[in-house]
């Protein structure tokens, strides 16, 4: 590789050579490695990388593309409707998972994937089979696949579901790679015959105990909890050894594995004594793996210790790791909830399916073809069918029923500004927690928007996970100005999105109403209050239900005005503690008359 | 089934293994829920359970896993007709451990009209679903928190009533479905409904081992397994056999285990102190302690046994303040040390 003096070119060259290497390793052992977490934007680098992978894959091994939102009938397989209707007997078809057996499934925009698709891929990677129990089909197909999850996410809010990431050995980043770097090509050693030889050699490669210990120690020091990742690092080392014709994993193989598998998943700096995300007492020994005297095996002379491995991958650690750690976001990057975008948004576009019943598709109900066929089937002989097309009468039509707006999402809008923080941010947090518990019991989802300084932040997208809600709340710092308008605007946009998905949004605003940051981040109380009231009126016009809880020690008119502009309920809570607050909101929400008082 | 990772080769995770072993000894304990982070071997352990279960008496050719000794009233019409025509042929069959895969649809879970027969022969025949297949055995739900809500409702109903009633496509079928639910999930990916939580007899929270030695051992064993499944399974076959025999012996001895009044009172006292809802907790606690007594070869249920199974049987039944920082495990432990001063 040519290394220029330009630091950017250097980074690009390093990323590209790692990416090419990852393509080679994946081509050697797609099912064993599980796949690649490929951070990239569409462009020449991505195109060239995909072409390289295709080129190196075994002859006849399928490389299929899968949309991130693939539905179950395509993913798992089921009844082949066209063939069934044509032939008049049930014909089953295999899904993408089974069709990709022995090959690689490429998923563009994997950051848009929802938790249930990710879970299906995860099962296929874990078990090498695709189990189908749907549409009257019961089958097990082989599905030994590797997954290339192309993560095109531009910020932390978009992330590939963690359940999937945990099963993809290789993590590479093509974002810094420009076309000039790509044009220089890939190492000459990375050719199809070499990869084929490596594939044959792979099952003879041994990763000894000392090497496993080094990789495990390195993973621990980087704060990688999952054992699966440590296991995958071992397999990557084996594949790398095979690529270089070695039957015993050597130092270079371990370094490559640490760089390609472990580095991108670090949640703390290796030298960092203090555990980063959660203060777990057991973490103490984790940060010094090398001093444990009862190491299963002392590293041999040619096996690097965990320490040496760490050193070798310093350059590959995410450049912004320190910064992210400082803001407490590393944990988020490493553990975005799989169910976050939820199944709801996709498979329940029109509310939750709650079964199938007789219906008329001409009225716009969604026809359920399989159930319709079932309904028509017993009558075929009576209706005089002679082996040709199936005779379906309007009576047979079955449609899927959805329960619309069955789910509500409570959006908490929390004032974390200096003025609120001074008084009672802690109490507001307590109240939100209690309300969360209540939402949990009712199976509602919750979301959390906080505003302070010069803007609002979506701390928690709609979720049912209390664990996450609580974590994001605990990490909420206080201080700074009060950009009330920004909080309300973000909440309104979120609420409208929720409604488009067929769920019912409701806002709970906790503030003292004393806005002092206006649109555009300018100071000035008057403009700030005006902007906030504008935003509140927009919420009222959109017909979104809301409650304003005045957190000021002495209630003042601002918050009441706000509630009125929102056409929501106003709850002054001068001396209320968390429990009183929560009860008040419960009462306010439970009262159908008080829900939306006439303006 | 034969190329699964052996149960006894799982490193550590003693609580999870204990819970699964207990449910293998006495299915009436009511299944196990395993919650934990990714990559802690939850699915591995549950799938491995199948190999440890003894066989059961079944009727040859029965699509509903009928118990030859069972009450005929609860059998599907098909079984009643068959019995009227000829006597049952009784065979030994493995206790079923049925996977409920993600994306399963309602028709496959409860059963539905057999489309093939209907289209080809115009015959109205019921095709039993996963519930029939899992009758008298275990239904394993991986990622239980990703299960569609209407399927959860359906399962709750069937597990509570012990029978599956199907009314669809002009078919009216009712068959016994006594099923033990075994589930695993990651709480980070969505909470479980309290109603579903309560249906599991025992619950376990698993965490990744934090010590290097343990972690290396896990990775090593898994790697050895992946390279040579047959060899690995062979190497562990002795300990698998021993464990299986222990379970079979415990199942036989289960009814002989004595249940002194003192033990029943202890269980009641414990549940009262913890404020668990309903009687289910107490019942499960006693049954689990009895199964453990049978496993350990003890004659009677005693304080020590109750103490050991209490966290498993009770921690998911505490009245939930889901945001309380103190985990349910800690709450159970506190009450335990109050009631059983050491």
Predicted confidence (pLDDT) per residue in A90-144, tens digit = 788 888 999 999 999 999 988 888 777 888 898 899 888 888 888 778 888 899 9
Q: Does residue A19 contact residue A49 with C-beta atoms inside 8 Å?
A: yes
B169 to chain A: which residues are within 8 Å by CB?
Answer: 374-375, 378
Distance CA A398, CA A392 (A): 11
A491 vs B: CB within 8 A: no
Q: What is the dihedral of CA A213, A219, A224, A229, to 10 degrees?
A: -70
Rounded to whole angstroms, the Cα distance separating A410 from A545 reads: 10
CB-based contact A289 B212, cutoff 8 Å: yes
A355 and A131 in contact (C-beta within 8 Å)?
no
CB distance A562 to A509 below 8 Å: yes
Q: How far apart are CA A540 and CA A557, in angstroms?
A: 19
Phi-psi region of A107 (alpha: psi -120 to 50; beta: other; left: phi over 0): beta
Of residues A236 and A135, more confidence is placed in: A236
Contact flag A213-B193 (C-beta cutoff 8 Å)? no
Tell if the CB–CB gap between B189 and A354 is shorter than 8 Å: no
Chain B touched by A163 (CB under 8 Å): yes
pLDDT of residue B291: 95
Report how many Cβ contacts below 8 Å link chain A to chain B.
Answer: 210
Judged by CB atoms closer than 8 Å, whether chains meet at A209 and B216 is answered as yes
pLDDT for residue A586: 59
B128 interaction partners in chain A (CB closer than 8 Å): none
Contact in structure between A330 and A267 (CB atoms under 8 Å)? yes
- Token pair in block for residue A314: 């310093």
Residue A513 CA to residue A566 CA, distance in Å, equals: 12
Rg from Cα positions in chain B: 21
Are the beta carbons of A230 and B222 separated by less than 8 Å?
no
User: How many angstroms separate the CA of residue A282 from the nearest CA in chain B?
Assistant: 7
Say how far apart CA B199 and CA B317 lie, in whole Å: 10
Chain A: give the shortest CA distance to residue B144, in Å.
Answer: 11
Mean pLDDT of A524-535: 86
B280 catalytic? Reply is: yes
pLDDT, mean of residues A528-550: 85
Q: How do beta strands A504-511 and A545-550 pair? A: parallel
Burial class, A158, CB count within 10 angstroms (exposed 0-12 / middle 13-18 / buried 19+)? middle
Indicate the burial class of B57 (C-beta count within 10 angstroms; 0-12, 13-18, 19 or more): middle
The Cα angle at residue A268 between residues A267 and A270, in degrees rounded to 5:
130
- Asked if B336 and B328 count as a contact pair (C-beta separation under 8 A), the reply is no
Q: Which of B132, B146, B150 to mutate to test the interface with A (most CBs of A within 10 A)?
A: B146
pLDDT at A30 over 70: yes
Per-residue pLDDT at A325: 46
Nearest CA in chain B to A370: B115
Interface test with B, best of A377, A398, A463 (most B CBs within 10 A): A377
Are A67 and A123 contacting, i.e. CB atoms less than 8 angstroms apart? no
Number of helices and strands in chain B (H, E)? 15, 11
Predicted local confidence at residue A340, as pLDDT = 30
Tell whether the model's pLDDT for residue A284 goes beyond 60.
no
State residue A102's pLDDT score: 92
**pLDDT, mean of residues A455-483:** 77
Q: Across the strands, what pairs with A583?
A: none
Positions in chain B whose pLDDT score sits under 70: 1-2, 38-39, 71-74, 189-191, 277-278, 319-327, 342
| 8 Å CB contact of A163 and B186 | yes
With a CB cutoff of 8 Å and minimum separation 6, the contacts of B69 are B57
Q: Which residues of A touch B150 (CB under 8 A)?
A: 352-355
Closest CA to A126 of B20, B34, B101, B206: B101
Do the Cβ atoms of A353 and A284 come closer than 8 Å? Answer: no
- The winner for highest mean pLDDT among A154-163, A202-211, B325-334 is A202-211
Please determine, for residue A51, whether its predicted confidence score (pLDDT) is greater than 90.
yes
Give yes or no for a contact between A272 and A330, defined as CB atoms under 8 angstroms apart: no
Is the domain defined by B254-339 classed in CATH 1.10.8.80? Answer: yes
User: With an 8 Å Cβ cutoff, is A126 touching chain B?
Assistant: yes
Are the beta carbons of A29 and A69 closer than 8 angstroms? no
The pLDDT score that the predictor gives to residue A576 is 54
Q: Which residues contact A248 (CB under 8 A, 6 or more apart)?
A: A205, A206, A208, A241
- Judged against a pLDDT cut of 60, whether residue A287 lies above it is answered with no
**pLDDT for position A272:** 45
Chain centroid to CA A138: 30
CA distance, residue B172 to nearest chain A CA (Å) = 14
Angle at B106 between CA A82 and CA A138, to 5 degrees: 60
CA distance A467 to B188: 6
Alpha helices in A244-339 (DSSP H): 251-257, 283-286, 306-313, 321-326, 330-334
Contacting residues of B for A468, CB less than 8 Å apart? 188
Residue A165: closest C-alpha in chain B: B38
φ and ψ at residue B272, rounded to 5 degrees: -65, -45
pLDDT of A148 > 70? The answer is yes
Q: Is A191 exposed, middle or buried (0-12, 13-18, 19+ CB in 10 A)?
A: middle
Which of A98, A143, A216 should we substitute to test contact with B (largest number of B Cβ atoms within 10 Å)?
Answer: A216
State how far residue A2 is from chain B, nearest Cα, in angstroms: 37
Greatest Cα pair distance in chain B: 71
Determine whether the interchain pair B322/A229 forms a contact, defined as Cβ–Cβ distance below 8 Å: no
Nearest CA in chain B to A208: B220
Where do the structural domains in chain B lie, given as residue ranges? 7-206, 254-339
- Is B102 close to A120, i.e. CB distance below 8 A? yes
CB B306 within 8 A of CB B244: no
Give the per-residue pLDDT at A256: 92
Fold that domain B7-206 belongs to in CATH? Rossmann fold (3.40.50)
pTM over 0.90: no
Confidence check: pLDDT of A20 > 90: yes
- As given in the structure block, the two tokens for residue A447 are 């979301």
Q: For residue B229, with 0-12 CB atoms within 10 Å meaning exposed, 13-18 middle and 19 or more buried, which class applies?
A: middle
Catalytic residue among B280, B287, B317, B331: B280
* Cβ-nearest to A437 among B102, B150, B321: B321
Alpha-carbon distances, residue B280 vs A586, B137, B271, B292 (angstroms)? 30, 20, 10, 18
Query: Which pLDDT value is given to residue A588?
Result: 54
* Cβ contact A210:A237 at 8 Å: no
Which of A280, A378, A468, A578 is the best substitution to test chain B (most B C-beta atoms within 10 A)?
A: A378
Alpha helices in chain B (DSSP H): 14-25, 42-49, 77-85, 106-110, 115-121, 130-133, 149-161, 194-199, 212-227, 229-235, 237-253, 261-274, 280-296, 303-314, 328-339
Give the Cα separation of B27 and B182 in Å (integer).
Answer: 11
A339 part of contact set with chain B, CB < 8 Å: yes
pLDDT of residue A452: 82
Instruction: Please say if the pLDDT value at position A38 is more than 90.
Output: yes
Q: Tell if the CB–CB gap between B122 and A381 is shorter than 8 Å.
A: yes
More confident call, A96 vs A479: A96
Q: What share of residues in chain A are helix, strand, coil (percent, to 5)?
A: 45, 15, 35
- A283 pLDDT higher than 50: no
Distance from CA of A338 to the nearest CA of B (A): 6
Strand partners, A78: A93
Query: Any chain B CB within 8 A of the CB of A514?
Result: no
Contact B215 A352 (CB under 8 A): no
B7-206 and B254-339 share one CATH topology? no
CA-CA distance, B128 to A580, in Å (whole number)? 53
Say if residue B274 is exposed, middle or buried (CB neighbours under 10 Å; 0-12, 13-18, 19+). Answer: buried
- What is the mean predicted confidence (pLDDT) over A483-509? 85
A374 and chain B in contact, CB less than 8 A: yes
What residue ranges define each of the domains in chain A, with the CATH number in brackets?
205-324 (no CATH), 351-403 (no CATH), 408-590 (3.40.50.410)
- Mean pLDDT, all residues of chain A: 76
* N-term to C-term CA, chain A: 71
């Amino acid at each position: 590789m040519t290394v220029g003096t330009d630091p950017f070119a250097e980074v690009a060259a390093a990323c590209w050579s790692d990416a090419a290497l990852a393509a080679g390793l994946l081509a050697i052992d797609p099912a064993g490695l599980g796949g690649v977490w490929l951070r990239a934007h569409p462009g020449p680098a991505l195109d060239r990388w995909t072409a390289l992978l295709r080129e190196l894959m075994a002859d006849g091994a399928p490389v299929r593309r899968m949309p991130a939102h693939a539905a179950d009938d395509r993913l798992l397989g089921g009844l082949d409707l066209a063939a069934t209707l044509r032939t008049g007997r049930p014909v089953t078809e295999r899904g993408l998972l089974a069709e990709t057996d022995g090959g690689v499934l490429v998923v563009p925009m994997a950051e848009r994937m929802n938790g249930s698709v990710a879970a299906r891929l995860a099962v296929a990677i874990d078990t090498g089979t695709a189990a189908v129990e749907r549409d009257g089909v019961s089958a097990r197909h082989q599905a030994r696949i590797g997954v290339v999850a192309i993560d095109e996410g531009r910020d932390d809010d978009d992330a590939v579901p963690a359940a999937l990431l945990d099963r993809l050995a290789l993590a590479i980043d093509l974002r810094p790679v420009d076309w000039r770097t790509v044009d220089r090509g890939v190492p000459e050693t990375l050719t199809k015959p070499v990869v084929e030889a490596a594939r044959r050699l792979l099952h003879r490669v041994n990763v000894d105990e000392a090497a496993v210990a080094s990789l495990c120690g390195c993973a621990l020091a980087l704060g990688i909890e999952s054992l699966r990742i440590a296991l995958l690092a071992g397999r990557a080392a084996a594949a790398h050894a095979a690529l270089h014709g070695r039957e015993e994993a050597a130092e270079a193989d371990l370094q490559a594995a640490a760089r390609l598998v472990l580095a991108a998943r670090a949640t703390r700096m290796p030298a960092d004594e203090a555990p980063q995300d959660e203060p777990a007492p057991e973490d103490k020994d984790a940060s010094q793996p090398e001093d444990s005297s009862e190491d299963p095996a002392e590293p041999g002379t040619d096996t690097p210790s965990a320490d040496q491995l760490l050193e070798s991958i310093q350059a590959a650690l995410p450049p912004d790791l320190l910064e992210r750690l400082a803001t407490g976001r590393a944990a988020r990057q490493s553990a975005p909830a799989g169910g976050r975008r939820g199944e709801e948004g996709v498979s329940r576009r029109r509310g939750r399916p709650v079964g199938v019943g007789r219906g008329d598709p001409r009225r716009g109900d969604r026809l359920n073809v399989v159930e319709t066929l079932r309904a028509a089937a017993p009558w075929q002989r009576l209706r005089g069918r002679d082996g040709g097309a199936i005779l379906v009468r309007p009576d047979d039509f079955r449609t899927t029923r959805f329960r619309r707006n069955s789910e509500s999402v409570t959006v908490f809008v929390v004032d974390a500004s200096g003025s609120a923080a001074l008084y009672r941010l802690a109490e507001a947090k307590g109240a939100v927690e209690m309300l969360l518990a209540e939402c949990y019991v009712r199976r509602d989802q919750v979301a959390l928007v906080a505003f302070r300084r010069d803007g609002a932040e979506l701390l928690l997208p709609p979720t049912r996970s209390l664990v996450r809600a609580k974590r994001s709340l605990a990490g909420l710092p206080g201080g700074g100005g009060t950009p009330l308008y920004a909080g309300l605007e973000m909440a309104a946009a979120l609420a409208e999105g929720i409604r488009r998905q067929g769920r019912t949004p409701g806002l709970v605003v906790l503030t003292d109403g004393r806005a002092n940051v206006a649109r555009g981040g300018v100071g000035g109380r008057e403009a700030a209050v005006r902007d906030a009231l504008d935003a509140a009126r927009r919420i009222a016009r959109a017909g979104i239900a809301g409650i304003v809880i005045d957190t000021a020690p002495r209630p003042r008119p601002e918050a009441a005005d706000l509630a009125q502009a929102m056409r929501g309920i106003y709850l002054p809570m001068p001396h209320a503690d968390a429990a009183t607050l929560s009860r008040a909101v419960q009462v306010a929400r439970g009262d159908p008359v008080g829900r939306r008082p006439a303006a | 089934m034969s190329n699964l990772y052996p149960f006894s080769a799982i490193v550590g995770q003693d609580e999870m293994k204990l819970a699964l072993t207990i449910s293998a000894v006495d299915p009436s304990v009511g299944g196990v829920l395993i919650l934990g982070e990714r990559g802690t071997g939850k699915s591995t352990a549950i799938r491995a359970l199948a190999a440890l279960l003894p066989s059961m008496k079944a009727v040859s050719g029965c699509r509903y896993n009928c118990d030859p000794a069972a009450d005929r009233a609860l059998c599907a019409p098909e079984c009643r007709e068959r019995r009227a025509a000829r006597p049952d042929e009784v065979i030994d069959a493995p206790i079923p451990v049925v996977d409920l895969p993600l994306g399963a649809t309602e028709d496959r879970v409860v059963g539905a009209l057999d489309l093939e027969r209907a289209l080809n022969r115009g015959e109205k025949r019921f095709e039993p679903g996963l519930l029939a297949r899992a009758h008298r055995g275990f239904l394993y739900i991986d990622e239980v928190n990703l299960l569609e809500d209407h399927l959860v409702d359906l399962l709750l109903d069937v597990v509570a009533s012990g029978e599956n009633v199907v009314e669809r496509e002009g078919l009216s079928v009712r068959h016994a479905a006594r099923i033990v639910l075994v589930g695993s999930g990651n709480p980070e990916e969505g909470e479980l409904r309290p109603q579903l939580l309560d249906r599991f007899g025992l619950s376990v929270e698993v965490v990744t081992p934090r010590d290097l030695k343990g972690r290396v051992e896990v990775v090593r064993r898994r790697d050895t397994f992946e390279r040579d499944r047959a060899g690995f399974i062979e190497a562990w076959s002795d300990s698998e056999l021993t464990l299986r025999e222990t379970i079979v012996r415990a199942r036989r001895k289960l009814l002989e285990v004595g249940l002194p009044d003192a033990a029943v009172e202890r269980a009641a006292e414990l549940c009262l102190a913890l404020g668990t809802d309903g009687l289910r907790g107490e019942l499960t606690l006693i049954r689990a302690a009895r199964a453990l007594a049978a496993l350990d070869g003890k004659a009677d249920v005693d304080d020590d046994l109750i103490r050991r199974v209490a966290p498993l049987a009770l921690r998911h039944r505490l009245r939930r303040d889901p945001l309380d920082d103190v985990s349910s495990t800690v709450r159970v432990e506190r009450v335990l040390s109050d009631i059983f001063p050491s």
